[in-house]
Structure 1
Amino acid sequence: MLSPASRKRRTIGRIPGLGTGTGSRGPRWTRPAVRTHSAALRSTGPGRRRQVRGTRKRERFRASKPDADAEVVLAGILVADPACHGAQALTDLVADARRFATEAHQRIDQRRKYSNQPYQEHLKAVAEQVASVTDDAEMIAAAWLHDTVEDTPATFGDIERAFGRSVRDLVAQLTDVSKPSDGNRSERKAIDRHHLAQASARAKTVKLADLIDNCTDICRHDPGFARVYLREAAALLDVLGEGDERLFRRAQQALANCARRLGLPAPPQSVAEDARQPLRSELSLSQRRALRLFTEAFTASEIAQPLRSFDIERGMDVLQTLASADDLEVAGLRRDGVCIGYLSAGQQAHRAPEDLLRAFAPAQRVRRDAPLSEVVHVLTHYDFCFVTAMGDVAGVITRGDMQQPVVRMWLFGIVTLMEIELLERIRSRWPDGSWTERLPAGRLDKAQALLAERRRRGQHVDLADCLQFGDKARVLLSDEEQRLAFGLPTKGAAKRVMSDLESLRNNLAHAQDIVTYDWPQIARLARNIEERLKQQERD
């Protein structure tokens, strides 16, 4: 069932090979309130930027004296005169990036893995490292935002709308591109390292700051994994040489300090597979078949909508159509009969269409038979997922389309498989039934009451069959080995994840909105199913 806020997208005819569902815009996640800075930054031309930088240098010299016109602002940026609109826009950019990132990570209650601190403490540390070597506000903003697309429901489109194309590009360069289906940890890290090798010197500077803080945190709290991380970080440094020289030296020193603390002679230079990989999940034959069914039966073609497209010569008409049509979010542009890019609603109609044309990023395109888990991966990073038919882009999927019944069936099935696995693991781990000691008395009483009722109806069940989803999770994840098997390092992390999954399950069961607040759980389930499929291929 679609949410009340969903509306049909205007389409023209049917495109062979694509689904005919109605689709919807659907509610997107609520973005933190920030100002849009792209126009203000564009108004600050090269000459103006040089003037601003020169002003900052003079103000640093004057900062030691009381001066009402000088003001120290966020992350060490000094702005001379609030009336200087270019400088003020740069200052606001950092402040709003901090607010945007903080709210985005708080919204999903993300915390540091070991210290359980709010995640913004890591973002602050990275931003401060960057600000210590540059006053480039876009770089400092990117430092605050560097994990936003990777970890929260925000997309690259959200970043660009709020902070402009330059910041968006920096965040994209800092965001991992590998997927669970790409292979083991070593293979995925190699893919991400190659992606970062192509990044700009500005992005590499931010990554150096990120590496420094992560290295310090991991070495302090997890010496076992630190040995693996050191090898990966040493390999990463090989592609970060274009970053700031001072941060590069700090990163080298951080790795050396960590190696010394672990009793290693020097930071190792090769990347090895993490010896602490989660326990392999032994799936039954029926579960394997069900998992394969969820991959092959639920594909992009089931929910894709035909992409309305126009000849590029009619670009201005496209912009006007997007501006006036409430139910049209995106349109393709054709050249010589081939769709070469797209325009999206909200772009500035006074600019030439050629300047606004967005090429289809390779990571945005999926085949019509791609599993829904791949679609989720794309929509975690981008506003639009484009579907190809016979090699050309023919359809489009947005997060609003993920409200469709087909997607709900797919998600509910995955959650059900996970619940079955929880139950089977409980029986395997505590065959004598001693798991009851790990459940609060009140919850155990409810399970026993349900057992009595089900047996009265003639059902052949035991006490474990009568546990609720949350009870099964509580029992199993109280065991450290089982918790680590699910990739959850602490009890607090396990509790939050299972609580979120239970919330998603309830929203699915009651036909509630699943996109606005449940997207992190949807992305987690998609990664889980890709990892399981990869494991089946290895087996």
Structure 2
Amino acid sequence: MRGTANSAAPQHCHYTPKNNMGYQLWVSPVTGYRRKGTRFSALRKIFIDNITARNIYEPLLCCPVHSHAHDAREALRIRDFDVAGVKETEGGEVVGYVQAVDLGDEDLGKYVKKITSDLLISDSTPIAEIFSVLTEINFAFVISGKHISGIITKADINKPPVRIYLFGITSLFEMHLNAWVKHYYSDDSWVSEVPGQRMQEASKIYELRQGNNQDLSLIECLQLCDKRDLLAKSQQFRKDFDFSRRSFDSFVKDLEKIRNELAHSQYSIIANIEWPRLIEIISSAEAFLINSDIKVDNIAAEGKDFQDLLI
């Protein structure tokens, strides 16, 4: 059930409402068709079809099985690696692996571990699936063709291809929140729900962007926390998307933390969030976007809202 209007946009921001949120981002003003790239399935397809483990894995450092553990430990230290492959002969197949933390002062063969199937992934594994792969293990060996040639660790999610995927998720998520704020607060009734100072800040941003000839709406000038609070207040939104107020608040706060790490962190985006929670939040964001896409299309097909998003 959509909200009812109880307020109008403040006049000082010179805001002219549009019929849908993020109009120029969602829909072509010429054709009226939903733009490519506004569905999560389109984003995910890019990273399933084109961006895979081969784009982020590191070549596997390998040591001879008959060498001394001290030499392997030093080779790992110099490269700041934790794991090395082990070969019986130079140019031969990888027969096992060692971890720096285990290495003592004996022959390397004493510390070799078997590479089990759960530690192996193909170089064609999509980046979108690597998060779940690394949920149970700290690293995975990468198979190219028939040979083990590389390794992926949790540190590799800091690389640009993974950051781009995560940034795409957070950007799409906020775009969808824009649409749902408009849907559940019809006739811009959300304006009266935003605290005055927050509304003034959004109005300033809106006027600045209008001055720069950026055709964006006032809702898009709100901070993510404002959109979170608006939708957390909406009982119908929480019911439709199966959230409690607390769970939605916690979910968006953690997703915002990930977004901020992506924007500001020069190295690790997981320094301030535990890996299991990161995986949980990313999975929840993906599920939300899939569900949101379905709901938008269904509501539009029924003629209740979002009609201009239909192709």
Q: 1:230 aligns to what?
A: none
Q: 1:333 aligns to what?
A: 86
Q: 1:501 aligns to what?
A: 255
Change (3 A) 1:532 1:291: farther
Question: AA paired with 2:114?
Answer: A
Q: Is the contact made by 1:307 and 1:394 (CA closer than 8 Å) also made in structure 2?
A: yes
% same residue: 27
2:280 to 511, 516, 524: 524
**Residue 175 of structure 2 corresponds to residue 386 of structure 1:** no
1:371-405 CA-partner distances (Å, limit 9, x unpaired): 22322223232221221111332111122222222
Between stretches 518-527 and 359-368, larger displacement belongs to 518-527
Q: 2:220 aligns to what?
A: 465
Q: Is the contact made by 1:474 and 1:495 (CA closer than 8 Å) also made in structure 2?
A: yes
**Residue 115 of structure 2 corresponds to residue 372 of structure 1:** no
Q: 1:514 aligns to what?
A: 269
Within 5 Å, give how 1:107-122 maps onto structure 2.
none
Q: Is the contact made by 2:69 and 2:107 (CA closer than 8 Å) also made in structure 1?
A: yes
Structure with higher RCO (Cα < 8 A, 6+ apart): 2
Between stretches 400-409 and 515-524, larger displacement belongs to 515-524
CA distance in 2 between partners of 1:514 and 1:444 (Å): 31
For 1:501, what is the secondary structure of its paired residue? helix
Q: Is the contact made by 1:298 and 1:410 (CA closer than 8 Å) also made in structure 2?
A: no
Q: Is the contact made by 1:347 and 1:356 (CA closer than 8 Å) also made in structure 2?
A: yes
Q: Is the contact made by 1:387 and 1:393 (CA closer than 8 Å) also made in structure 2?
A: yes
CA distance in 2 between partners of 1:366 and 1:420 (Å): 33
For 1:433, what is the secondary structure of its paired residue? helix
Q: Is the contact made by 1:300 and 1:371 (CA closer than 8 Å) also made in structure 2?
A: yes
1:402-458 CA-partner distances (Å, limit 9, x unpaired): 222222222111111111111122223333222234322322222223223333444
Within 5 Å, give how 1:294-373 maps onto structure 2.
294-314=47-67, 316=69, 319-322=72-75, 324-325=77-78, 327-335=80-88, 337-350=92-105, 353-354=108-109, 356-373=111-128
1:194-233 CA-partner distances (Å, limit 9, x unpaired): xxxxxxxxxxxxxxxxxxxxxxxxxxxxxxxxxxxxxxxx
Change (3 A) 1:324 1:432: closer
CA distance in 2 between partners of 1:352 and 1:484 (Å): 62
Q: Is the contact made by 1:507 and 1:514 (CA closer than 8 Å) also made in structure 2?
A: yes
Change (3 A) 1:507 1:430: same
Q: Is the contact made by 1:330 and 1:344 (CA closer than 8 Å) also made in structure 2?
A: yes
Within 5 Å, give how 1:441-460 maps onto structure 2.
441-460=196-215
CA RMSD of aligned residues (A): 3.3
For 2:101, what is the secondary structure of its paired residue? coil
Q: 2:245 aligns to what?
A: 491
Question: AA paired with 1:367?
Answer: S
Within 5 Å, give how 1:127-526 maps onto structure 2.
286=37, 287=39, 288-314=41-67, 316=69, 319-322=72-75, 324-325=77-78, 327-335=80-88, 337-350=92-105, 353-354=108-109, 356-483=111-238, 488=243, 490-512=244-266, 513-518=268-273, 519-520=275-276, 522-526=278-282
Cα shift at 1:520: 4.8
Q: Is the contact made by 1:373 and 1:530 (CA closer than 8 Å) also made in structure 2?
A: no
Q: TM-score, normalised by structure 2?
A: 0.69
Change (3 A) 1:500 1:414: same
Change (3 A) 1:325 1:355: same
Q: Is the contact made by 1:311 and 1:333 (CA closer than 8 Å) also made in structure 2?
A: yes
Q: Is the contact made by 2:60 and 2:149 (CA closer than 8 Å) also made in structure 1?
A: yes
Q: Is the contact made by 1:291 and 1:529 (CA closer than 8 Å) also made in structure 2?
A: no
Change (3 A) 1:478 1:335: farther
CA distance in 2 between partners of 1:317 and 1:464 (Å): 60
For 1:509, what is the secondary structure of its paired residue? helix
CA distance in 2 between partners of 1:483 and 1:442 (Å): 26
Cα shift at 1:503: 2.0
Between stretches 440-449 and 417-426, larger displacement belongs to 440-449
CA distance in 1 between partners of 2:120 and 2:290 (Å): 21
Q: Is the contact made by 1:298 and 1:371 (CA closer than 8 Å) also made in structure 2?
A: yes
Cα shift at 1:534: 8.3
CA distance in 1 between partners of 2:106 and 2:215 (Å): 69
Cα shift at 1:303: 1.0
Change (3 A) 1:294 1:484: farther
Q: 1:43 aligns to what?
A: none
Change (3 A) 1:356 1:514: same
Q: Is the contact made by 1:365 and 1:385 (CA closer than 8 Å) also made in structure 2?
A: yes
Cα shift at 1:514: 0.8
The runs of 5 or more residues in structure 2 that have no matched partner are 1-33, 298-311
Change (3 A) 1:369 1:308: same
Between stretches 395-404 and 434-443, larger displacement belongs to 434-443
For 1:358, what is the secondary structure of its paired residue? coil
Cα shift at 1:352: 6.0
